[in-house]
Structure 1
Amino acid sequence: MDRRIPKKGDIYRHFKGRKYKILDIAVCTETGEEMVIFETAEGTRKVFASFLETFLSPLDVGKYPHADQKYRFELCRDVSESDILGLKRHGNTTSLILEFLDLNDNEERVQFLQKHRPEIDARFLTAAAESLEFAENAETVEERYAALIRFLKTKSRYESRRMR
């Protein structure tokens, strides 16, 4: 294999256009083959694993004659400033989630959400809702944020009445 091995933090573009951030190189427990562990660099966070050989393989031009790339995944050399900011924000979401999970009561959670409103994204809202066993049914980030606030305020009022 004459292609460069992906490194943690690299951004690769799949031949269909999506960008992925390399998380690590792992070893398959079944075959001993090296695998690339990567996640979506935009949109909903999903983590994937692919055998290194497959990840770096040439594209089947017979099957995909109109593809713009020679390989299935190619290193992005044109990552824009907004892409980098998006990835930094994605990393910041993880620390926000951890802070949120450490909070003790619902009033603290509401204050935290209000304080960090500009930093909250869909990934954070999904994690927060799941940690509270709150079933989301809103679609936009704004609607989901408002629904979570309402849920926490209702829960806080209910709990304060129960204590009396």
Structure 2
Amino acid sequence: MNATPEAGIYRHYKGNEYQLYEVATHSETGEQLAIYRPLYGDRALWARPLAMWSETVTTGGITQPRFTFLRPTE
């Protein structure tokens, strides 16, 4: 498993920005979940498996992180 990501603002590989609040643990499975919200639209709160948050994706022959850290939350 990757290191726990720092809370803050991230850019998704498709270009939008998200705020990562923290990493939580699923009560039944023990799976780690990234707790975040988009900084656009309805700004709903979401949970995504940490492994998925931290993975790399390949699109158009380019491999890059799914989310790239930009800055800490102010």
Same-fold call, TM > 0.5? yes
Q: Paired residue for 1:71? A: 65
Instruction: Find the aligned partners of 2:47 and 2:20 in 1 and give their Cα distance.
Output: 10
Q: Aligned-pair distance for 1:6?
A: 1.9
Larger helix share, 1 or 2: 1
Cα deviation digits, residues 15-73 of structure 1 (max 9, x gap): 111111011211012310111000112342111111111110111x2xx2166x61111
The one-letter code of the counterpart of 2:11 is: R
Q: Which runs of 4+ in 1 moved over 3 A?
A: none
Instruction: Find the aligned partners of 1:66 and 1:38 in 2 and give their Cα distance.
Output: 28
Q: Paired residue for 2:4? A: 5
Aligned equivalent of 2:55, options 51, 57, 67 = 57
Aligned equivalent of 1:26, options 24, 27, 52 = 24
Q: Aligned-pair distance for 1:74?
A: 1.2
Q: Paired residue for 1:42? A: 40
The one-letter code of the counterpart of 2:21 is: L
Q: Which has the larger radius of gyration?
A: 1
Percent identity of paired positions between Structure 1 and Structure 2: 30
Larger strand share, 1 or 2: 2
Decide whether aligned partners of structure 1 residues 66 and 17 sit closer, same or farther in structure 2, where only a CA change above 3 A counts. Answer: farther
More relative contact order, 1 or 2 (CA 8 Å, 6+ apart):
2
Cα deviation digits, residues 71-108 of structure 1 (max 9, x gap): 1111115x9xxxx7xxx7xxxxxxxxxxxxxxxxxxxx
Count of paired positions: 74
The one-letter code of the counterpart of 2:6 is: K
The SS at the match of 1:32 is coil
The SS at the match of 2:65 is coil
